[in-house]
Amino acid sequence: MKVASFPSPSLSALTLGPLTIHFYALCIIAGVIVAVWWGERRFIALGGLPGVVTDVAYWAVPSGIVGGRLYHLATSWNSERTFFDAIAIWRGGLGIWGAIGLGVAGAYLRYRLLLRKGSLHGVELQALPSFAVFMDALAPGIVIAQAIGRWGNWFNVELFGRPSTLPWALQVPANKRPNGFADFETFHPTFLYESLWCGVVALILIGVARRGLLRSGGLFLLYVASYSFGRFWIENLRIDTSAEIFSLRFNVWVSLCAFVVAAFASFGRRNRRGAR
């Protein structure tokens, strides 16, 4: 028997009396904490005020979770799923595109309300940066949050790729293997590929931001384009059930469209003077 260098975990949750702690949820929470903490620091450095990112997160995070779950259900629904299955996000199943879309919408709504109100906890919010600058500040933290969150898929032993004999292949228990793959023991760890790619994207964003190569809003667009580029080829490795269009997974088309649109938009935000 081949022993994979990357084993699957034997536990996906801990039970403490009546409380069950799911590692998938912990990964999501850890990612959110990092994104908010780093985003707050970057936003302040860009002229924002303390507390704004945290306040907006109270709207954006729940919106993102709802959007991610709705996207997942819409693209991978089956008639055997019950209502409980639909809301059991700790089992996995958050579509990143829905999370980004509705999360940004929630953030925009709250940010606009703060601008209109003019204060936060009694502190005047004078001359807050634009929402585009706000999203630029969050971009590196968001992609790192995705890198951390992907490890939740490892704990759930899900969303792996095609069979592989590479040294870093993931060993998948027999009861977790999809139909038609029962005879294969090791698979591409696509969660790992995506986590590493998200780390690369974060480095790219930090480098571009430090050089002032893009005007406001461009960094967030670059994040969308760069992540979509990596997701395009990673998605092609996956073998989990997914809706398809012209024999290609739906998320492949979404990644392609998101890359093209965001790449062109980001290019349009380039700063030829080298200053933000």
CB 242 within 8 A of CB 76: yes
CB 163 within 8 A of CB 240: no
DSSP SS3 for 100: helix
Residue 232's pLDDT is 92
The lowest-confidence range among 1-15, 73-87, 239-253 is: 73-87
CB 22 within 8 A of CB 12: yes
pLDDT higher than threshold 60 for residue 125: yes
| Nearest one of 166, 173, 90, 104 to 135, comparing CA atoms | 104
Q: How buried is 242 (Cβ within 10 angstroms: 0-12 exposed, 13-18 middle, 19+ buried)?
A: middle
The lowest-confidence range among 35-49, 106-120, 173-187, 225-239 is: 106-120
Q: Please state the pTM of the whole predicted model.
A: 0.89
pLDDT higher than threshold 50 for residue 231: yes
pLDDT higher than threshold 50 for residue 139: yes
The rounded percent of the chain whose pLDDT value lies above 70 is 88
Delimit the domains of the chain by residue range.
19-268
> What's the rounded mean pLDDT across residues 146-158?
93
pLDDT in tens, 28-82: 999 999 999 999 999 999 989 889 999 999 999 999 988 888 888 777 655 445 5
Buried b (16+ CB within 10 A) or exposed e, 175-185: eebeeebeebb
- Could you give the C-alpha distances from 35 to 6, 25, 41, in angstroms and in order? 27, 15, 10
